[in-house]
Amino acid sequence: MLAKTIYELMLYGFFFVLFAGAYAILYAMGRFAGLPWLIRFSYLFALLQFLSGMGMFLSNYLDAFWRYIILFSSVAYFLIPPFMWRVVEEMHKRHDH
């Protein structure tokens, strides 16, 4: 039973990182290329990343501390690509690029 639980947590963790990366890359590509459909498509990966995080959050194997860090990360990762896009745009505006 423990091996199965750890295996599931590893899978959820793998997909959490994979989907978060796909969301960030597709979001940035959509913004850079001016393709609103690609930005909307990236949100699918944000949802999948959130669901992967919920799989870890709902596991009884992890302490509450780690479960709440995962919950916070699942929500925060949704906000990071748009926030970082604004940071990059602002940096380029300041330096006339």
- Can you tell me the mean pLDDT for 64-86? 95
What is the pLDDT, as a whole number, of residue 9? Answer: 96
Q: Is the pLDDT of residue 96 over 90?
A: no
Kindly indicate the confidence band of residue 97, based on its pLDDT and cuts at 50, 70 and 90: low
What is the pLDDT, as a whole number, of residue 95? Answer: 83
Residue 36 CA: distances (Å) to CA of 42, 48, 53, 86: 10, 19, 26, 16
Cα–Cα nearest to 58, from 15, 5, 3: 5
Give the separation between CA 53 and CA 12, rounded to whole angstroms. Answer: 7
Give the separation between CA 97 and CA 89, rounded to whole angstroms. Answer: 9
- Can you tell me the mean pLDDT for 36-57? 98
- Please answer whether residues 32 and 81 qualify as being in contact, where contact means their C-beta atoms are separated by less than 8 angstroms: no
- Please answer whether residues 71 and 53 qualify as being in contact, where contact means their C-beta atoms are separated by less than 8 angstroms: yes
Give the separation between CA 24 and CA 46, rounded to whole angstroms. Answer: 8
- Can you tell me the mean pLDDT for 78-95? 91
What is the pLDDT, as a whole number, of residue 55? Answer: 96
What is the pLDDT, as a whole number, of residue 50? Answer: 98
